[in-house]
Structure formats: structure tokens, C-alpha cells
Amino acid sequence: MSEISVIRCSTYQPVEIDKAVREAVNFIGGMGRFVKKGMRVLLKPNLLSDKPPDKAINTHPGIIKAVANMVIEQGGIPCVGDNPGIYSLTRVIQNSGLAEFIRGENIFLVNFSQYILKQTPQNYTFNEFKIAKEVLEADLVINLPKIKTHGHMLLTLAVKNLFGCLARQERIQWHLRAGINRNFFATMLVELYSLIQPGLTIVDGIIGMEGNGPGSGTPREIGVIIAGIDCLAIDTVITHILNLDSQRLYTIKAAEGRNLGKTSLNEINILGENINHLIINNFQLPLELKEDFEWGYYIPKRFRTTLKHNLIPKPAIDPTKCNLCFICLNNCPARAITTDKRRVIIDYITCIRCFCCQEFCPQGAITIKESWLCKNNPLKLIDAIKI
């Protein structure tokens, strides 16, 4: 059994956040169970962008501050670390409101810049990962994800948040290697999780993000703080609250049979709120992942490149929103984006459908669009043929 606490909280008022985070952690033994005097504690929030808290892109600064203060109370030394996708950590911290929240507090900040090569066990799919030194050398890692949709992985929750512990260059390489294969990418995330295994995870689920996440979606009140050790169990509980089948989450499927955590509600002891009373309806997933399918499996290899263009969802740029910042162009791992100075253009044959461009676009100008074949739901056709 994994123990996960779920606390209702619908506001970012500092007093209420502090109360809810404490309550959530107290249910699983209190901060004193995790932090001892003198421990270096690395807090790993989701800091994707330099946008303010009301955009619901980053873990809310109030949560980071509340957790850091609880660490300090136990005699620990908190340090907030990340390596944001597009901008420098300094810019993200200044513009996102975090600097204001932690000014004058005894909280250190670290931009991941040094990485240690960590080997995986022999039976793993991937041999090694370059993980941030600060993460591996911390006495305790506290994972602070935010509940958001994700164009490639459906949702970014507790397991996915640890992807930010990899070197930026390596993250690009992983996208290139995994391409459209979401199960392959999810396997990588799960194996990375097994190497980091944060000692504690506290989820910012007060205002999450639905729709075109993780960088340009719509804020959506979910009203929860969730705490626990087992990230897979936490992600399972969140899918239940979002009224989704947990098996739709690629990381949960990829974790099956690995003994890394619980992925069935029957094996999770939920403390605090009854999650059946917290279920939200009509949570909007990223466009066109509503009816996902593994196209490559059914198609002979020689036709895949040609058919890719017409079969699988693809990123589409809205020129009325694009301000030609070229962030997408500079961050496309496949170098599939070019410009003629008046617009940015995607080469769909080269594009590997990693949706990094959609994740990073600060204007929300990139969405995921389905192709005409998807609209006609080829799965139905394929199922009919199989029968």
C-alpha cells in the first residue's frame, strides 16, 4: 500500500496554502519524517516559463515558499532548483513572481548546470542518464509538480516533472530519439524516475491547466494539494480526480511490472479527502489526444514517412498570434522549423511530433491539429479489419 494525502484547497492565499500543505504532509508523517537538521533539501518545482502565477504554468510560488519554510523549521537547508526549458532560471524567477515571494527568506536558488552520468540497472531500456548534480547530491529531493496537460505525454504530473533534472541538451536528444513514440518516451521518464525517486512529492493542484498545455493552456480550478512518496500512486490519484482512466497516462502504462509504485487505487491508501467528492468533469485534454492511437504499429515501414503527414496529429502555427520570436525554431530538436522572415514554417516530413514547439511557444500560437484521416477515426476501421 502507498499512502497519499489529498487536501482540499481552492485559493493561493498564503495562510490557506500553508495550512493545506501542512495538513497534507502531516497526514503522511509530518515534515520531521523527511527532513533532519542540516539536510540539504532540493525543491524541484515545475518552472517552465517566465509568466506570472495566474497563467498556471509554473508551480505556484506560494507552494514553494510554504514547503521551504517547513524545511527550515526542521533545520533543513532548502534550495530551489530547475533548468527551465526556454529562459534562464534568473529570468523565470524574476518574471514569474517567485523572486517576490522568496525575497528576504532563507531560500537558495540553483540553476542546474553540472550533470553526473548515472548508469541504470541492467534490465533497463536505457543505459544512462545525465542528471543534475544538485539533484543527485541533495540529502532529500522534494518534487513540486503542477497538474497540467501536456501535448506529448497527455499530462505532466509527478513523474514527468523530473524530466527537468536532465541536461537541456540531453532533453532535446531524448525527444529526437523517442520521436512520436509516446510509450518509448514514457519508458524513459519512468526509468529516470527510478533513479531520482524523490523522498517527498507535493502537488500544486489548486489551479491546474487544461487544454493546450503545458505552456499555453487554460487555468482550471482543481482545488487540491496532494502529498506522498510514491509518484506513480500520486499520478494515479490525479487521473481519478480528473475523471480519466489512469491507463491513458503513458507513464503509468510504462511503469507496469516494474515494481516502482502503485498504479491501482486498490493499492493506495488515500488519507484526507474522499477523492470521489473531488472529481471534476469535462477536463479538457490537449487537442487531438482525445482519440490517440499508435499509428506506426499498423503501417508497413516503407509507407510510414509518407503517411505520417496525413495520419498523426501535428503542430500548427496560428500566424495571427505568432510574434516571430523564433523560440520554436531554436528549440526544435529535429530542426523542422524554418523562417522566411515573415512567418515560421514547419516541415512536417522532418517533424518528429515531439510538440516541444507547442510547449515552448510563449504566445500560445502553436496548437495540436488532427489530420483528415484522424478525423475519420481510422481506429474504427482498423478494429473492423482485425475482427
Q: Which is nearer to ligand SF4, 7 or 346 (CB)?
A: 346
Q: Which is nearer to ligand SF4, 135 or 337 (CB)?
A: 337
Cell numbers placing 100 = 517576490
Q: Which is nearer to ligand SF4, 203 or 352 (CB)?
A: 352
**E-only strand ranges, 229-365:** 268-272, 314-317, 337-339, 344-346
Smallest separation, CB 92 to ligand SF4 (Å) = 16
Rounded to whole angstroms, the Cα distance separating 317 from 265 reads: 40
Rounded to whole angstroms, the Cα distance separating 210 from 154 reads: 10
Smallest separation, CB 31 to ligand SF4 (Å) = 40
Cell numbers placing 381 = 476501421
Residue 145 and residue 201 in contact, taking contact as beta carbons nearer than 8 Å: yes
* Candidates 57-65, 67-75, 140-148, 330-338; binding stretch for ligand SF4 (CB under 6 A): 330-338
131 pairs with which residues across the strands?
116, 166
User: Within 10 A of 105 (CB to CB), how many other CB atoms are there?
Assistant: 13
* Candidates 16-24, 89-97, 344-352, 372-380; binding stretch for ligand SF4 (CB under 6 A): 344-352
Smallest separation, CB 352 to ligand SF4 (Å) = 4
| AA identity, residue 348 | Y
Q: Which is nearer to ligand SF4, 9 or 365 (CB)?
A: 365
Cell numbers placing 234 = 500520486
Residue 51 and residue 151 in contact, taking contact as beta carbons nearer than 8 Å: no
Three-state secondary-structure class, residue 296: helix
Is residue 70 involved in binding ligand SF4 (CB under 6 A)? no
Please give the residues from 276 up to 315 whose contact with ligand SF4 meets the rule CB under 6 A.
Answer: 315
| # residues contacting ligand SF4 (CB under 6 A) | 27
Q: Which is nearer to ligand SF4, 36 or 343 (CB)?
A: 343
Smallest separation, CB 132 to ligand SF4 (Å) = 23
Smallest separation, CB 12 to ligand SF4 (Å) = 28
Rounded to whole angstroms, the Cα distance separating 284 from 170 reads: 30
Rounded to whole angstroms, the Cα distance separating 152 from 85 reads: 15
Which string of x and - marks every residue 348-377 that binds ligand SF4 (by CB under 6 A)?
Answer: ---xxxxxxx---x-x-xx-----------
Cell numbers placing 228 = 506522498
Rounded to whole angstroms, the Cα distance separating 98 from 101 reads: 5
Strands 115-119 and 108-111: unpaired
Cell numbers placing 165 = 533534472
Task: Give Dmax over CA atoms of the chain in angstroms.
Answer: 66
Smallest separation, CB 292 to ligand SF4 (Å) = 15
Compute CA 79 distance to the chain's CA centroid, rounded to the nearest angstrom: 20
Which string of x and - marks every residue 310-329 that binds ligand SF4 (by CB under 6 A)?
Answer: -----x-x----xxxxxxx-
Rounded to whole angstroms, the Cα distance separating 113 from 167 reads: 8
Q: Which is nearer to ligand SF4, 260 or 337 (CB)?
A: 337
Smallest separation, CB 157 to ligand SF4 (Å) = 21
Is residue 41 involved in binding ligand SF4 (CB under 6 A)? no
- Rounded to 5 degrees, φ, ψ at 19 are -65, -45
Q: Which is nearer to ligand SF4, 135 or 361 (CB)?
A: 361
Smallest separation, CB 178 to ligand SF4 (Å) = 11
Smallest separation, CB 346 to ligand SF4 (Å) = 5
Peptide bond into 286 cis (omega under 30): no
DSSP 162: G
Q: Exactly one of 346, 367, 370, 374 binds ligand SF4 (CB under 6 A); which one?
A: 346
Is residue 55 involved in binding ligand SF4 (CB under 6 A)? no
Q: Which is nearer to ligand SF4, 275 or 354 (CB)?
A: 354
Smallest separation, CB 301 to ligand SF4 (Å) = 20
The footprint of ligand SF4 (CB under 6 A) covers: 315, 317, 322-328, 332-334, 336-337, 344, 346, 351-357, 361, 363, 365-366
